[in-house]
Amino acid sequence: MHRIVFATNNQGKMREVRQLFPPEIEVLSLSDIGCLEELPETGATLAENSLQKARYIFDKYGCPCFADDTGLEVDALGGRPGVYSARYAGSHAHPADNIAKLLYELKGEHHRKARFRTVITVVGLTNANQFQPSCDIFEGEVSGVIAESTSGEAGFGYDPVFIPTGENRTFSELTPEEKNRISHRGKAVRKLTGWLNDLISPGASAQQPG
């Protein structure tokens, strides 16, 4: 069995990611490795934060790991909240407060286009003989619009107000499988698992027909 740590304190992310991993790779949580701390997230970009979280765990616990940093970019707000999505309504803000602030800022606004972007960084898996641990990056994004009000119970974070393009339901009204099929995280994680599969059994994907 292969193991990799997912450096997140967000249980919603963990559920989605575990659903997409092949059975031969076990995804460990921070509590599985005895880490009960908050992860540092002081970068100016999603890529910086994603690397910072993964590096922190790799440096401290020595295990291969990956981290996900995600932002909601709203066109009418000039791309905000973006990298500050978790702290939009203040540090340690509850998701309901972030959503309330978002709907307030968009009140009366007709142009409601937005996108989720995810950057996943893996640290510690490839060039093991080199002094610097390697890092590899996988990205995914999904476009949509911000609804006028919340709908649905599933998911987490901003899901109750995000309607992906081609849908008339919010992410919170989709099943977990439906969300993973089209979401920013689903896209990034499928790139990651394809790359991991190649590390585990090199060439296997090239031998598959089609």
Q: How far apart are CA 122 and CA 6, in angstroms?
A: 9
Nearest-CA neighbor of 67 among 78, 56, 59? 56
Q: Does 172 bind ligand ITT (CB under 6 A)?
A: no
Q: How many residues bind ligand ITT (CB under 6 A)?
A: 23
Specify whether 69 is catalytic.
yes
Q: Which tokens is 210 given?
A: 């089609």
Q: Which of 140, 157, 164, 186 binds ligand ITT (CB under 6 A)?
A: 157
- Sites for ligand ITT among residues 93-112 (CB under 6 A): 95, 98
Of residues 23 through 62, those in contact with ligand ITT by CB under 6 A are 39, 41
Q: Which amino acid is at 146?
A: I
Cα-based distances in Å from 160 to 149, 152, 171: 8, 6, 6
Instruction: State which of residues 35, 57, 64, 69 lies at the interface with ligand ITT (CB under 6 A).
Output: 69
- Angle value at C-alpha 103, between 149 and 100, nearest 5 degrees: 95
Footprint on this chain of ligand ITT (rule: CB under 6 A): 8-10, 13, 39, 41, 68-70, 72, 85-86, 95, 98, 116, 155-159, 171, 183, 185
